Structure 1
Amino acid sequence: MKHDHSPVLPGAGATDYARYMRTDVLLDLQRSSDEVVHRDELLFQVVHQSTELWLKLAAAELAEATARVDAGQLLAAEALLVRATLAVRLITDELEMLRFLSPVDFQAMQPALGNGSGAESPGWRAVHGASRQLGRAFNKQLVTRGPRAADLRAADLSDPLPRLAEAMVEWDERVSVWRVRHYQVALRVGGHPPAGSPGSPANMLAKLAGHRFFPELWQARLRPTTNE
């Protein structure tokens, strides 16, 4: 018996897979062979474009996690935050692809990049905003439920509130690891002078490596636990 694989979904594309995934558009987002000034532009664009997609997902998961925290559904919020954290782990691993890009090759590509900078990433801006919203929602839960952030370190992890706090610390740490790796790649591939050099683009990356979205949760780990 023959199976009919004719597309039934609306849109462009020869198959339903192409129409649902919008592959015709997706695979046309990179510069064509007639446009590139260096063949490794494809590598550079694929890494950064896929990063933007993962960050879009991470920001959506953070936004939904915040809504769940506001609703008191802390276990659901934790699961969503774990998903967002995995997305950041994946884009950190993606940076390994850029070690195949030499400083000479990157300099040859720079005219095609114009004045573009990773600091302009819409994905990172969305993630930053969503992280701050999550922090505010979590702090409201602390006020409502009673325990201070300083008490969470010693709390029973069967309680959803400290479990969510641990997931938030893990998120913070994974973002920091990505920033450190990105900083190292900028030095190795971009040929930037190291942090501390006047005018070096690496200065901002180095500064952000120590940034924390939830500093009170990290500070809680430095305080001694008291037994009452």
Structure 2
Amino acid sequence: MVKALFKSLLQKTGKSYELDPRIPDSLILRSLWIRFVMLSRGLFKLRRKVFLGSGTVIWNKSNFSFGRNVTIERQVRLDGYASQKISLGHNCKIGAYSHLTCTSHFSKYGKGLTMGDNSAIGDYTHFGASGGIEIGNDVIMGSYISFHSENHVFGNPDKLIREQGVTSKGIKIGNNVWVGAKVTFLDGSTIGNNTVVAAGAVVNGTFPDNVVIGGVPAKILKTIG
């Protein structure tokens, strides 16, 4: 009975995987209760059907666009002060203890973050979204991912680096991408569709569709298919 109910709820959210028959009903009931509490919190704090973890703070809520079944885990900090809407698509998830910063300095209003449908990122993620971060659909990401969508200019040796300004090319990730844990994306990075980024990579530059990349700095390791 419990498993049938849970499977029905999964199907309504567009998920079709089969439950492992060894999963006890008590674990499913615990998960459903946690989701109920998170949804209640989202309705109370955001007036929207968002699954919101305990201790999570969202600044400038009016600048957020939430799809269906968005999950924001506990102790997340989201800065919504940006020139564009912060958009989280259907079935998006942001892991616990993550941090979104859109405007890092008052000299330049930040651009923001967009996440497509069915994309999820793990715990302890840092979104440095001053220059803009675009994440496509069906992107799965591990924990401790960091995005740095600005880069300091340092070409003038006669001037302090902090006084030379920044570049803001932004970061773009395509559709159907798997990003391993502890990957760092630098300003100007572009990842194609159907791509895998190996754990621990430092990504800088443009990469095509259907490749596996990894290393410091990241390079193409092989093609897919």
Larger relative strand fraction = 2
Bigger-Rg structure (1/2): 1
Higher helix share: 1
TM-score in terms of structure 2 length: 0.21
Query: TM-score, normalization: structure 1?
Result: 0.20
